[in-house]
Amino acid sequence: MKSDRTKELQRLDKAYVWHPFTQMKEWETGDTLIIEKGQGNYLIDTDGRRYLDGVASLWVNVHGHRKKEIDRAITSQLGKLAHSTLLGLGNTPSIKLAERLSGIAPKDLNRVFFSDNGSTAVEIALKMAFQYWEQKGFEGKKKFVAFTGAYHGDTFGSMSVGEIDIFVKKYRPLLFSAYRAPYPYSYRCPAGKDRSDCKTECLKAFEDILKKHSGEIAACIIEPMLQGAAGMIVSPPGFLKKVRSLTKKYGVLLIADEVATGFGRTGKMFACEIENVVPDFLCLAKGITGGYMPLAATLTTDKVYRAFLGKYEEYRSFFHGHTYTGNPLGCAAALANLDIFENEQVIKGLGLKI
Ligand SMILES: Cc1ncc(COP(=O)(O)O)c(C=O)c1O
């Protein structure tokens, strides 16, 4: 039985809310589920029915809903400050979080640039990689190499390096072109191999691109170990490590988009750790706050950071920022999330043997 309140909310939702990735004509005729509460692994609708949150609220929820430590961290931060800009000012939780993230990220990734979502985390890495080379005097390095089936988000830069056709084809006239290398797909391998006899033959095409075009390529972007939106495609052992060594060999920066894989999703805190890979950029979002707040971070190295230093008039600054960059509530939630990982030994509990 649906309550009158639920019916009224459904009417208002259909009248006013435009849902993401949704054909709204179909939506208008559907029976909208309206979620009001969360508890542990469950979502609860306006009539009190419980649903297993199987998609973890789109791969963001890490420890369950209403995790008391995160609830408390946010309310405690709310008692001090909800927001203050990072443009010209610092704030306590963003400083602490930047230090914590650089402490748990693969080594050398100790510069943290905050934003709001996975797409912006990627957009920032793309812009930084492009600007890095320009400021190092390599003006020809303006392109990117990405993988088949990639999904990196919905802003123009992140769509340009993505390849899921239904999401990007309408916008293609507005996107920049990227070199495209095959992502390994052991289950439906085009070379007819399976995981047991895979020698990552598809890396040849990747190396050919680098061999021919590395003088034009600023960076390679990859979803390390697992392509999420493409259909949960797990890359064979050794693939990521070889991508890293080839990018190094050909002088191309590596952007690891760990928006989906970060924060324990692959059994390690970050998927890059599975093959001991240290990228030049690490893009984090989704699970960073345990699934509570829209926060993202792009981590990079001192080497990249230093290329942006100079006198203001040299215009080497990274001219990028979002109003809510480094939002204290989001950072407080993220700090509590990391505390839970530590206190509950979450990664150890996952028991991944590598
Ligand atoms: C690998 C990857 N990168 C980027 C994004 C975009 O993140 P957001 O939806 O927070 O912009 C996603 C979202 O699913 C993703 O899976």
Residue-wise pLDDT for 42-91, tens only, equals 999 999 999 999 999 999 999 999 999 999 999 999 999 999 999 999 99
Q: Are residues 15 and 122 in the same domain?
A: no
Q: Does 262 sit in the ligand 1 pocket, CB within 6 Å?
A: no
Q: Which band of pLDDT confidence, cut at 50, 70 and 90, is reported for residue 353?
A: low
Instruction: Please state whether 40 falls in left (phi above 0), alpha (psi between -120 and 50) or beta.
Output: left
pTM of this prediction exceeds 0.95: yes
Residue nearest to atom 7 of ligand 1 (CA): 118
Closest ligand 1 atom, residue 261 Cα: 1
* 52 DSSP β-pair partners: 42
Closest ligand 1 atom, residue 227 Cα: 1
DSSP states along 59-74? HT-SS-BT-HHHHHHH
Handedness of CA 130, 131, 132, 136 (dihedral sign): positive
Give the residue numbers spanning the domain of 266.
69-350
Q: Are residues 194 and 52 in the same domain?
A: no
Q: Are residues 51 and 75 in the same domain?
A: no
Mean pLDDT of 304-331: 97
Average pLDDT of the chain is: 96
Q: Residues 4, 10: contact at Cβ < 8 Å?
A: no
Q: Are residues 105 and 207 in the same domain?
A: yes
Closest ligand 1 atom, residue 296 Cα: 10
Residue nearest to atom 13 of ligand 1 (CA): 153
Q: Are residues 18 and 110 in the same domain?
A: no
Q: Which amino acid is at 196?
A: S
Q: Are residues 46 and 73 in the same domain?
A: no
Q: Residue 32 and residue 2: Cα distance in Å, rounded?
A: 11
Please tell me which residue, 350 or 266, carries the higher pLDDT value: 266
Q: Are residues 45 and 115 in the same domain?
A: no
* pLDDT confidence of residue 354: 55
CA atoms within a 13 Å half-sphere pointing along the CA-CB vector of 76: 12
Q: Are residues 73 and 32 in the same domain?
A: no
Given a cut of 70, is residue 22 above it in pLDDT?
Answer: yes
* pLDDT confidence of residue 26: 96
Q: Give residue-wise pLDDT tens across range 124-134.
A: 999 999 999 99
**Total domain count for the chain?**
2
